[in-house]
A and B are shown apart, each in its own frame.
Chain A
Amino acid sequence: MIAIAGLRKHFGHVEAVRDVTFGAADGTVTGLLGHNGAGKTTTLRMLSGLMRPDAGSISVDGSDVIADPIGAQRSMGLLPDSRGLYPRLTPREHIRYFGELHGMSAGAIRERSGVLLKRLGLEPIADRRVAGFSQGERTKVALARALVHGPRNIILDEPTNGLDVMSTRAMRGLIRGLRQDGCCVVFSSHIMQEVSALCDRIVVIAQGEVVADGTPDDLRALTGQADLEDAFVALSSLEAEEVE
């Protein structure tokens, strides 16, 4: 369970995040929707505990991320904006490394990496070095190592970015599986179909502020648009006009 309230962050004169408040419940998929530069990645970075907000509060399963980022990181699995793999290590070694950093035993890591490699379809390439992997394979490896410790809160920054149709489908299947397991899943995207296909709740961010928050039906009703994409455009541009 994730609760974010009144988040602010500026870089120099740019206010990247001005006021972000939303919650994400267990067993649901929450989509963070916004244009490029709307403040999604900055919000997720603050949620991950690596970036300190100027103001606001973040709690994950009741523990304060700002006061104790390391404690909160134990119950989170994050797929950050930069996948950043080690070209000379294999997928299995990536998973093991992160498992060890989570303090897992060798046996637990072996068992868990077997499950993850199978679930992500990485088994055939599990012992090949990742240099030369495709974008989709890289994303899967990054995801597998982020999930090694079986986190209850899963945060994915544009998880389907650069993936082909097959990989995108596999990713969606995985996200649904995580929801079924009762996890709290938050993912960011700028692709409407992505969000509408998966999300129980949608949080629309524009110019660093939450402009709408609700089920897909709520958003349609709010904007009077039958199509979700039109609703998204209406919400984002509304905000833009207000700013001007």
Chain B
Amino acid sequence: MTTLRHVWAIFRKEVLDGSRDRRSISSLVFSALISPILFGLMFTVAAERGKSADEIALPVDGAQYAPALVEWLGQQSGVTVVPAPADAEKAVSSRDEDVVLIIDQDFAKNMGRAVPAQVKLVSDVTRDSARPKVTRVRNLVAAYSSQTSGLRLIARGVAPSVASAVRIEEVEVSSSQQRLATQLSILPLLLVIAALTGSMQLAIDSTAGERERGSLEPLLLNPVPRGALAAGKWLAASLFGCCAVLFSMLLTINVMRRVPWHDLGIRFRVSDAELMSLLALILPLALFLSAIVMFASTFARSFKEAQSYLGMLMLLPMLPGLVSTMYPLAGRPWMAPIPVLGQYALAADVLGGKPPGVAFYLLAGMSVVACAIGLVTLTARMLKREAIVFGR
């Protein structure tokens, strides 16, 4: 029980020390804000784009050559035909317009002779934000074309279906929930980053910082088992990491409530409870991440040296997160006991609307905490090495 008192004394001192450290506090605040800000921005931009294809002002040049087409376009919902700028190509390349429709002056003549009448669609393929609008206009023109040719065939006594040999019917397998999951798959990554940056300052300061200041030797003169020492420091760093994750999550949920999901064409069905269950995954992971950071910084003689080690180390827990945005990890719960990877896989399932069983949470949590305790034990062993205690 005296060991527990030791752990508590060290934990309390490190938290007090950390809470007075401007660097620790500012990185905690910063890490809590990344996710909500990024998310808010991402979804708002996506919503704006979705919206831009619904309500479009379509500049048409040469409207007088095809009054029927222009009138038909004007009747489509959300479409307003406006006069085109004098130089259409320049307007599009200078981003004044997303798309311009130019009607050929022989349009009516060709229509009458039943040869393909020409329109030009001026657009810039490199502009992602204009793409929904361009696609909408292309589809409108295609719809008008097939409608007109259908009428022509009927006039000649031929069923329009004869003209289409193959018809494509698109069957979208992924539910809107899963489409949302791909958007949300970045959330676990952001939470992992929050856990890392939140705990890092304190973890470095209480290990490499302790060596840099020369306070490790006096500290070790106290009759305290090294394990208790490492555990107290680990828990203090973990507290900061967990706070960062918690704040980040709560703020993100708040932001999500304000996202105009309707404009994204998505029904947002991930409940707050399900989002909160992500915490059951990421909070134990924060314990593991702070243990890794602490272990690595114990090798470093100074704050700067520790930061250079951690620059590389930081990438490791992020890697599966980055990869999972490209190759979805959903539906692979066997990954659960693998630290970091397991959390990403289970999180993908939660966000995909297929929450895994409690057993998987337990498995993932226990495995990650066991690994953390292993790292803390290694750190404690390092604190016995003379090269670490006296090496400055």
Contacts and interface: CB of A to CB of B under 8 A. Distances in A.
B17 A73 contact: no
A52 B9 contact: no
Interface string B217-231: 111111111000000
Nearest to B214: A82
A89 B216 contact: no
Contacts of A22: none
A142 B218 contact: yes
Contact of A83 (B5, B6, B214): B214
Contacts of B138: none
A5 B392 CA distance: 29
A50 B218 contact: no
B116 to A, nearest CB: 78
Contacts of A93: 13, 16
Nearest to B221: A78
B224 A84 contact: no
A84 B215 contact: yes
Contacts of A48: 221
Given A89-B17, A103-B2, A98 B214 contact: no
A100 B21 contact: no
Contacts of A119: none
A74 interface: yes
A94 B285 CA distance: 32
A108 interface: no
Interface string B193-233: 00000000000000000100111111111111100000000
Contacts of B20: 88-89, 129
A70 B16 contact: no
Contact of B386 (A52, A81, A84): A52
A74 B2 CA distance: 14
Interface in A57-94: 70-71, 73-74, 76, 78, 80-89, 93
Interface residues of B, number: 28
Given A52-B386, A80-B221, A93-B16, A85 B213 contact: yes
**Chain A contact residues: over half helix, strand or loop, or mixed?**
loop
A146 interface: yes
Contacts of B13: 89, 93, 97, 100
A84 B216 contact: yes
Nearest to B216: A84
Contacts of B213: 84-87
Contacts of A86: 17, 213, 215
Nearest to A70: B223
Nearest to B220: A50
Interface string A204-230: 000000000000000000000000000
A84 B218 contact: yes
Interface string B174-210: 0000000000000000000000000000000000001
A172 to B, nearest CB: 22
Contacts of B220: 50
Nearest to B12: A100
Given A73-B223, A85-B213, A103 B5 contact: yes
A146 B218 contact: yes
B389 interface: yes
A51 B218 CA distance: 13
7 contacts: A51-B389, A83-B214, A87-B213, A88-B17, A100-B13, A101-B222, A142-B218
Interface of B: 2, 5-6, 9-10, 13, 16-17, 20-21, 210, 213-225, 386, 389-390, 392
Given A88-B17, A101-B9, A129-B20, 4 more contacts: A70-B225, A73-B223, A82-B392, A103-B223
Interface of A: 45, 48-52, 70-71, 73-74, 76, 78, 80-89, 93, 97-98, 100-103, 129, 142, 145-146
Nearest first, the 6 A-B pairs at minimum CB distance are A84-B215, A82-B214, A100-B9, A84-B214, A101-B222, A88-B20
